[in-house]
Amino acid sequence: MSRLDSALERVQRWDAHVCLRCNRALRYRALPQACRAISRLGDGIFWYALMLVLLLLREDAVQPVLHMAGAGLACTTIYKLLKQGTLRPRPYQVHASIARGASPLDTYSFPSGHTLHAVGFSVVALAYYPWLAALLVPFTLLTAASRMVLGLHYPSDVLAGAALGIFVGAASLALV
């Protein structure tokens, strides 16, 4: 076995182990509902609502909202291309010990689209409105964690989604 194969095997074991530990939190009564609710809001509802509220309450919100929408479109494009290219099964499909806590939006695991979008939107929104950090940072972290708790993503899916979200957000800010 090559060093690369050995390293990949260790990462896969770590991924499965951490995912299983997070997924065990489904045993606690209120946690599955909370994770499903956060995940559902992360489907886009939270971000669309944020953009609408900004447009209604802030005279200066048109450019930031258009910027957020553009970053969201870039995130969606990257997400779809990677999902089609990697075809990584979801943790609950591979490991019988990992329970599916919610229905996925699509078939494949890599990267976490919820995390990608949450981080991408947050990077852009916080560049314009830093005072939103008290709302956006916890929501983004909870969105990412909920995906592992629900057995829908491995930690590496979430980390890749976060890294891509940072890249998309930062690249879009560099363009303006």
Dump pLDDT digits (tens) for 135-144.
Answer: 999 999 999 9
Whether residue 27 is predicted with pLDDT greater than 90 in this model: the reply is: no
**Average pLDDT score, the chain:** 93
Domain that holds residue 25: 3-175
The 3-state DSSP class for residue 108 equals: strand
The first and second tokens of residue 1, run together, are 């076995």
The CA distance from 162 to 173, in Å, is 16
Confidence class for position 5, pLDDT limits 50, 70, 90: confident
Which token pair is 9?
A: 């095997």
pLDDT score, position 141: 97
What pLDDT is stored for residue 120 in this prediction?
Answer: 97
Half-sphere exposure of 149 (CA within 13 A, CB side): 20
Say whether pLDDT at 1 is over 70.
no
Residue 14: pLDDT band by 50, 70, 90 thresholds? very high
Residue 106 banded pLDDT, cuts 50, 70, 90: confident
Dihedral in degrees, nearest 10, Cα atoms 96, 97, 101, 104: -40
The 3-state DSSP class for residue 89 equals: strand
Mean pLDDT of 143-159: 95
113 pLDDT higher than 80: yes
- Among 7-16, 57-66, 67-76, 162-171, the minimum mean pLDDT is found in 7-16
pLDDT at residue 103, as a whole number: 87
What number of residues does the chain have?
A: 176
Q: Give the number of domains in the chain.
A: 1
> What's the whole-model pTM score?
0.92
